[in-house]
Amino acid sequence: MTNQLESLATYTTIVADTGDFEAISKLQPTDATTNPSLILKATQDERYRPLLTEVIKKHPDANTEELLDHLLVLFGSKILEVVPGRVSTEVDARLSFDSSATVRRARRLTELYKAAGIDTQRVLIKIAATWEGIQAAQQLEQEGIHCNLTLLFSLPQAVACAQANVKLISPFVGRIYDWHKKQAGADWDESAKSGPNDPGVQSVTTIFNYYKKFGISTEIMGASFRNIGQIQALAGCDLLTISPDLLQQLSDNNDPLAQTLDAKQAQSMDIDELTLDEASFRFLLNEDAMATEKLAEGIRNFVADAIKLDKLIESAR
């Protein structure tokens, strides 16, 4: 009998959202994504702590920033041993508003992957979808370094990424859901806001339909899920990056799963096209309280975990 994970794989490329490559090996996704929070969690796991020791031993003269990049690339390389596709490795979130520094760090990560014998076409550099991050990604794409624009919560961010010809975007579902649920408070109706009515699902659906309507080649990878209902409602999205526990829930579910997003249907939809410059991007993002708040919050959280990783590295030296 076909389970929902197997059914989903016929419509959508499945990506594991974790730094736990043992879990990745078990669930056999196509790709994998990481971020500072996931690497921090994995490094604190006794199974993976030796990787940090290995990095410090191999690079005794490296500073903390350089050791962090070596650690990220080592995790990415290990993940690529168990997935057939790509891994996403994130640039330090502290550089989210500095295009030139983001470009330099992305180049360094790419060179480290090359030095490890990794085909860099199997690597996506993750960058926060700020205006500065998107401009950095545009330059990197022109250099052949493919990017995954993350912390994406709105259509204007998605459109700006498309204009920059980035390889892939990661619109967040669960964090949008979280914001709307918190705003509604006691008035939140979970049953009425589930499945296709979930605000996070609706955001990704809007981006998917826009991209397919206008023939945009940038890949869409739905991310940040709170439950399998959000995943089920996005069957047919280009890619979905899913945590191991939700992957397991899908694997354990044998109910039928139908495709919900359809590129051909989107092509016939009546959708207005957007053209953005920096001023219009910033204005439209500012008009969206949810996107503005969640982008800022996401960067702060990733920065906090990057600082914790720095301290973990320094204490291990």
Please list the active-site residues: 126
Q: Which pair of structure tokens corresponds to residue 147?
A: 């990017």
φ and ψ at 37, to 5 degrees? -65, -40
φ and ψ at 251, to 5 degrees? -65, -30
Distance CA 141, CA 127 (A): 12
Residue 272 CA from chain centroid, whole number: 26
Distance CA 182, CA 180 (A): 5
Residue 175's SS3 state is helix
Identify the burial level of 30 via C-beta atoms within 10 angstroms of its C-beta, where 0-12 means exposed, 13-18 middle and 19 or more buried.
middle
Which strand (E) or helix (H) includes residue 56? helix 49-58
Report H helices in 85-130. 99-115
